[in-house]
Amino acid sequence: MSANLISGNEISASVNHETAAEAASIAAEYGIQPALAVILVGEDPASQVYVNRKAKKCVELGIRSEKIVLPADTQESELLAVIARLNADPSIHGILVQSPVPKHIDEQKVVLAIDPTKDVDCFHPMNVGRMMLGDFSGFLPCTPWGVITMLQRSGISPAGKKAVVLGRSNIVGKPMAAMLSANNELGNATVATCHSRTKDLEFYTKNADIIVAAIGIPNFLKGDQVSEGAVIIDVGINRIADSAAKNGCRLVGDVDFESVAPKASYITPVPGGVGPMTIAMLMKNTIRACKAAIARGQTK
């Protein structure tokens, strides 16, 4: 069997085209430009790359981007004051604080400080709770939503399938399992969440129709752990040493692509798989935030 490649680059381009059209429509009808504020605390190189990518994508899609860079020694109270200012600004529709923040700042306080109506990362308990209850009309967690969109646009329905999520993080694993099992047209799978305490992991993976790997271990899932015809979604992004690479390292996922791809029916690559989808869905959430603010009469 030769797996079909699910290209996040191609699907995200389609999603982004739709988002740009929505942004243009909002500007034409209401004279309002959807706006996303991104806050970066410190100088973490990876975080700087992510923030710059988000800002660039905003410009491409007709979304106004406000990038706020704060020094690493910024006090928690100062960061919360910046968030409060953005919460009160009706021209800002989405707020994102790039994770991780410096250790002296309580990340949970930061999450709770963001107005739930501007929480385009979908980290606030109010938005997470709404999603967990099966309401997909508001904000959705960007990476899991990206995975669901990849399945949907590849003609793969989770309904009635056995799905395994490797990992139980609050950002990917838990919401991914909730979305796959949700009682709506995007879910209805029977889901097992596997993690470091799972016994007999292969029992679950070998019986899975769909596997979403988000465990943070390079090349963790091997070909002998999956069934013929399984759909494999690799959320992992890991850097490993590679003397042949220009900068001495390369990106790999949580799936050992070379051994898994021959058995899979569909598989995502790394890079070029789930990664581009995360930013695409963040932009979709920003459009949703702007539309909701217009409906409430709380934007300008």
β strands within the chain, DSSP E: 4-5, 35-41, 64-70, 94-97, 162-166, 190-194, 210-213, 231-234, 238-241, 249-252, 266-267
- Residue 34 CB: number of other CB atoms within 10 A? 27
Question: Tokens 């904000």 correspond to what residue?
Answer: 139
Q: Is 98 a catalytic residue?
A: yes
Rounded Cα distance between 175 and 144, Å, is: 7
- Among residues 118, 119, 121, 284, the one annotated as catalytic is 121
Q: Under 8 Å CB-to-CB from 37, ≥6 apart: which residues?
A: 65, 66, 67, 68, 86, 92, 94, 95, 96
Count Cβ atoms within 10 A of the Cβ of residue 290 and give its class: 0-12 exposed, 13-18 middle, 19 or more buried.
Answer: buried
Catalytic residue, chosen from 98, 118, 225, 234, is 98
| Through-space distance between the first and last CA atoms of the chain, rounded to whole angstroms | 54
Catalytic residue flag (residue 57): no
Q: 275 near 11, Cβ under 8 Å?
A: no
Q: Judge whether 284 and 150 are in contact, CB under 8 Å.
A: no
Active site residue 118: no
Interhelix angle 274-296/45-61, nearest 10 degrees? 60
Q: Decide the pairing of beta strands 4-5 and 266-267.
A: parallel
Active-site residue list: 54, 98, 121
